[in-house]
Amino acid sequence: MRILSWLLGLPVALLAIVFAVVNRHAVTVDIWPLPWDVSAPLYLLVLGALAFGVILGSILTWLAGVPVRGKATRESRRANVMAYQLDQLKVENEALQKARQTALPRMEP
Buried b (16+ CB within 10 A) or exposed e, 17-45: eeeeeeeeeeeeeeeeeeeeeeeeebbeb
pTM of the predicted protein model: 0.62
Q: How far apart are CA 41 and CA 69, in angstroms?
A: 41
Above pLDDT 70, what percent of the chain? 94
The pLDDT, as a whole number, for residue 105 is 65
Instruction: Identify any residues that bridge with 27 across adjacent strands, giving them in sequence order.
Output: 40
pLDDT bin (cut points 50, 70, 90) of residue 104 is low
